[in-house]
Amino acid sequence: MLKKRVVVTGMSINTPIGDNLDSFIENLLAGKSAICNWKTIDSSKIYSKVGGDMGDYDINKKIDSYKGRVPEGVFNRLEKLGKKSPFSIAVSLQVAVEAMLDSGYIKEIKDGNNIATVVAGHNLNQKYTFENHDVFNDDPDFVDGLFALYGLDTHHVGSVTDILQLHGPAYTVGAACASGNVALRCAVDEIQLHDVPVAMVVAPVLDYSPLDLQGMAIMGAISYKSFTDSPEKASRPYDTKREGFVPSHGAASLVLEDYDHAIARGAKIYAEILGVESSSDGNHLPQPSQIGQARLMKRLLKNCGVKAEEVDYVSAHATSTPLGDLTELRSIKDVFGDHCKKLKINAPKSMLGHTCWSAATVETVAAILQMNRNELHPSINIDELDPEVDIDICRNKRTKHEINILLKNSFGFGGLNSISLIKKYKGK
């Protein structure tokens, strides 16, 4: 169990189906898909034709909307850096400012503060790098003059700390599709072990390049065979016709706080983090392990002092792959046993697609919003349910359900697993 209570006091989101908390949750509950044909990625030479495309999102307009809502210095820095940065970095800055604004703490940031910043993910600016490779091959003198900065993942965290003037520990962590939960674990540890009062998790857009998408398709990881003419149906966890995950853009941010610090300043509290655990399957290949996943869930419950029957809801990793969906389901049944009859699961990727490195954070925001409404979004596109699925997965319907404790799964390539346990906040 955590020695200090850690609570969520700020959240933000930016996905193809919502760039604010209200529109995001309403579209999820309505079963709206984020998936379309690629518009801003040249797919003419590659197999992948569908994904969650935010490449034409008007980030400058969103940045302008903060004028007068955030301190002048923050806005000036956001406008200067955000409007000049590559797409993924600009969205990172926007969601960071939004989450800190949502927390109510943005005007209380003092010089020399000890606020931690953890950015989730790696190889983030792929399309930007890919395009500069093309320029380099044509004429090296015309490569972006700031490529040496913008091409680095650390420029995300450096820029976030600059915009908000955060002076505590700051770093990036990468664990493939588990990056968001690993970043959450690091932020919790900063509060637990290093006397940090406030910690920010920023989960950026993975800005896919055509090369990334083609590599994933050749490996057989993503959907590309059947749904070019009906892209909104491509992501279909638990359906018999699922054929791989659907790559998607998306970003999110969380503000975590020491409970006593949050109470002292009268902060609103979304939820309480009971714990986050991580593990490795000891296998570099993208082969999910039922043993590894179940072992980690059991460890998390034990370390948090929570019984399996106390968990009400699992926000599943459920990527829409033939092997991955069933492996996770089997591990859940191993851990929860007869309680599975009362447990509910849903698959946010059925609508959002797979935002990869940011997925755990994007889906944590979704899970907390659902928990506080006691209502679960549908898992869509399940026309023919896989016969092995015998747990309530909210198939094609939104569902009322009392949620006090939720489990958020995230499992990354290379056998990198990370799971969080989150509790509804009901006051002191």
pLDDT digits 0-9 by tens, 182-221: 999 999 999 999 999 999 999 999 999 999 999 999 999 9
**Does 26 have pLDDT greater than 80?**
yes
Q: How many Å apart are CA 49 and CA 37, to the nearest integer?
A: 6
**Does 1 have pLDDT greater than 90?**
no
As a dihedral over the C-alpha atoms of residue 258, residue 116, residue 99, residue 250, rounded to 10 degrees, the angle is -120
**Does 428 have pLDDT greater than 80?**
no
Q: How confident is the model at residue 310 (pLDDT cuts 50, 70, 90)?
A: very high
Q: How many Å apart are CA 177 and CA 360, to the nearest integer?
A: 7
Q: Annotate 271-293 with DSSP letters as a single string.
A: EEEEEEEEEE-S--SS---HHHH
Q: Which residues of 265-303 are buried (b: 16+ CB within 10 A; e: fewer)?
A: eebebbbbbbbbbbbebeeeebebbbebbbbbbeebbee
Tokens of 216: 């994933």
- Answer whether 332's CB lies under 8 Å from 421's CB: no
Q: How many Å apart are CA 263 and CA 256, to the nearest integer?
A: 13
pLDDT digits 0-9 by tens, 335-365: 999 999 999 999 999 999 999 999 999 999 9
Q: How confident is the model at residue 43 (pLDDT cuts 50, 70, 90)?
A: very high
Domains of the chain (ranges, CATH numbers): 6-271 (3.40.47.10), 276-424 (3.40.47.10)
**Does 238 have pLDDT greater than 90?**
yes
Residue reference for tokens 């505590």: 168
Mean pLDDT for the chain overall: 97
pLDDT digits 0-9 by tens, 91-125: 999 999 999 999 999 999 999 999 999 999 999 99
